[in-house]
Every structure is written in C-alpha cells, then in structure tokens.
Amino acid sequence: MARLITNVGKGFDDPAGSTAPHVTTEHKLRTERDYAEIIVNTVREPMLVLTGDLRVASASRAFYETFGVSPEATVGQFLYDLGNGEWDISALRRLIEDVLPKHSEFRDFEVEHDFPSLGRRVMLLNGRTLWSQTNNTHRVLLAIEDVTERKRIQDNLITSNEDLQRFTYVLAHDLRSPLNASLRLLQLLTRQTKEKLNEEEASLLADSLESIERLSALTQDLLTWTDAGNAPQQRKLVPIGEPLQIALANLQHHVIEAGATIAVSEMPTLLADRTQLAMVFQNLIGNALKYRREENPHVRVDAVPQGTTWRFSVTDNGQGFKAQYASSIFEPFKRLHGVDVPGSGIGLATCKRTIERLGGKIWANSVLGQGSTFHFTLPA
C-alpha cells in the first residue's frame, strides 16, 4: 500500500511523471480562461473573444445586454451566424480575415449597420489577435463601441456650425455695401464741412466716422474669417519665403512707421496655399508691430524641421500677454488690449482656421511686458 501511495505522489510531483504535464497544462488553460473572462466582463463596452476559426469563445455581459442575446445562443457559434446573421458585415469580414492576419490589430473602424434588435447604429470596432503560449493557439479580441448618439451630436454640431457660418457670411456680405456707402458719405461730409463746423460738431462727426470705419473693418474681417473655413485651397509646392515676402511687402508702411527690424531665417519648400499662408504671416507680423512697446519692435521669423512637420515661429519684443490667455486669443472677437488698439479680434481666429485646414496647428506663448512667440506647424 505504501508503495502505491509513493507512485501516485510521483505522478503529480515528478516532472517525469506521465500525468504532471497534462494536469499543469489544464490548470494553466483554466487559469488563463478565468482571468480573460474577468477582464472581458469588467469593461463596459460589448466584447467578444473568438477562436481561430471565428467561433465565440466568450462574450462580455455588456454584449449580452446590448444585443439582447443569451450565452447559450452565443458561445460556440460562428461569428457571422450570430443573431440571424446580423454580424455578417462585409466590412467586418475584411477586417478580421484580411487586416488582422497582416497587422495583428485594427482600431476605431466605423461601421454603420441595421441591427434587428437595435435599428440603425454606428459602431466603432477594435480588434486584436492574441496568442496563448500555453497551447500555441490564437484568439481574436473584438471590442464594439456604440457611438450612434455621439455621431448624431457631432453631425448636428457640424450642421449648426455650417449654418452659423453661412448666416455670418450673408450678414457681413449684405452689410458691406451700405456700410461702405455710409463711410464714403461721411468722409465726403468731413472734407466739405471741415472749416464750417464748430469744435463740438467736428468731434461728433469724427466719432461717427471712426465708428463706421470700425464696423466696416469688422465686416470685412468676418468675410475673411468665413472664407478661411470654406474657400478652396490652391495647394502646391511653395517656397515659404515667397508668401512671407508678400506679407512683408504689404506691411512695409507699418514696418517703416514703427521703426521695426525684421529678421528671417531660411525657409523650406512645402505643400501649401501661397495666398492663405501670406495672410497668416501678415496677421502675425502685423500684430507684432501693432502691439509694440515704446522701444522699436524687433521681430524674428524662424523655421525649424521637427520630424514629419516644420515649426514656424514669429517672435517679438512687444507688449505680450498673460499666459492664461494663450488659448483664448485664437477665439473670434477675443481682444486683450481694449479699444486703444484698433482691431476686431478676428485675425488670429482666421489664422487658426487656415493653419488647421493646411494640416497644422497654431499656438502661442508670452511673457507680459516682454514679448510673444506665435508658433504654427505645417506637414513636411
């Protein structure tokens, strides 16, 4: 009897025993399966674990609840047979059968499909191939996120934004003609009555003229801002020095008036819209001249390669601004210097729209009373 007990002990404890590897493998598989099920059931999104032949090994509770199916009708079933074939989607077939074998994962693939239990839904699919070293088999982890409501809100926001832009453009366009006519009449009246009005009357007329000029400039800026988001872009390889020189030529009078010095580093040749990029440079350099301190402005324009982008910088020694306004200054009508400095608060917002449409981003940093640097990137 003692001898029998000894042999049984060797069967479990001795690695050379005939049953030890089998028991160890089963234990590892069971542990892996239990661990995987805990993870799958923890996530809030529906999730499937598929075998190599695309049968359901397990599903999350969220999957059962979302699609109204039971574990009995799910586990062991072929993926494309689930729910009377509602997962037999051509896009999903391509992802699992073509993409996964080559890339081992895919992310945020959007699928729009009619699900019998849910209706028309928009789903984001994420998939990954997982290997089990224990038994050298692979699984497919498929995560499903219902983004129908989010997509609806985004579409409504886009539509509302487009409607607002159209309204803004039509309003500014229709106001431009009567404003320009009023401006010309006031300018004519000012010239004709210059010697005839008393001091108070002349002051009232001057204030009226200034108000109309500001309103006319604001109207033109609104048109420019809406155009920046909708105007066709003529993208081609452009030596960036060309739009920069156009901007400097347009600002020549202001440069001389301010006694400014402007230094420019070597510029690359990139795919861009020459006219729109000239507008960006003109806005940024023009702001450096406008928001200057008593000392003469010094402006430097640099271009530096950074991986897949080029970073451009316009640095000045002007008034600067508080760091808390670094993001808000790119919002329409956001102004930090009051009515003492002319402007509508549209220029930087227009630059932002233009740069983002060109595939870049724009930001700024500054120290109040010392100067500012405006950066923007363009794809290399």
13-27, 140-154, 184-198, 207-221: which range is least confident on average?
A: 13-27
Report, as an integer, the average pLDDT of 201-206.
Answer: 85
**Which of 228, 247, 280 corresponds to the end of one domain?**
228
Does the structure show a pLDDT above 80 at 237?
yes
Q: Which of 98-107, 132-141, 199-208, 237-246 has the highest mean pLDDT?
A: 237-246
- Based on the domain organization, do 350 and 328 belong to the same domain? yes
Q: What are the pLDDT digits (tens) for 286-324?
A: 999 998 988 999 999 999 999 899 999 999 999 988 888
Is residue 157 domain-resident? no
Kindly give the pairing relationship between strand 298-306 and strand 261-264: parallel
Residue located via tokens 């089963």: 26
Looking up residue 350, the CATH number of its domain turns out to be 3.30.565.10
Length of the chain: 380
Does the structure show a pLDDT above 60 at 111?
yes
Q: Which of 188-202, 282-296, 320-334 has the highest mean pLDDT?
A: 282-296
- What pLDDT does 340 receive? 54
Report, as an integer, the average pLDDT of 206-211.
Answer: 84
- Based on the domain organization, do 301 and 178 belong to the same domain? no
- What pLDDT does 14 receive? 41
Does the structure show a pLDDT above 60 at 126?
yes
- Based on the domain organization, do 218 and 256 belong to the same domain? no
Q: Which domain holds residue 218?
A: 162-228
Is residue 263 domain-resident? yes
Is residue 353 domain-resident? yes
- Based on the domain organization, do 170 and 272 belong to the same domain? no
- Based on the domain organization, do 297 and 258 belong to the same domain? yes
Is residue 100 domain-resident? yes
Q: How far apart are CA 299 and CA 317, in angstroms?
A: 7
Is residue 57 domain-resident? yes
Q: What are the pLDDT digits (tens) for 8-24?
A: 333 334 444 444 555 56
Residue 137 vs residue 104, higher pLDDT: 104
Looking up residue 114, the CATH number of its domain turns out to be 3.30.450.20
- Based on the domain organization, do 7 and 141 belong to the same domain? yes
pLDDT bin (cut points 50, 70, 90) of residue 6 is very low
**Which of 228, 248, 283 corresponds to the end of one domain?**
228
Q: From 321, 256, 266, 264, select the one nearest 289 (Cα to Cα).
A: 256
- Based on the domain organization, do 113 and 216 belong to the same domain? no
State the DSSP string of 103-154.
HSEEEEEEEEEEETTTEEEEEEEEEEEEEETTTTEEEEEEEEEE-HHHHHHH
Identity of the residue numbered 28: K
Query: What total number of domains does the chain contain?
Result: 3
Is residue 15 domain-resident? yes
- Based on the domain organization, do 12 and 90 belong to the same domain? yes
**Which of 172, 205, 228 corresponds to the end of one domain?**
228
- Based on the domain organization, do 291 and 376 belong to the same domain? yes
- Based on the domain organization, do 208 and 338 belong to the same domain? no
Task: State the average pLDDT for the chain.
Answer: 79
- Based on the domain organization, do 7 and 134 belong to the same domain? yes
Residue 134 vs residue 97, higher pLDDT: 97
- Based on the domain organization, do 172 and 138 belong to the same domain? no
pLDDT bin (cut points 50, 70, 90) of residue 31 is low
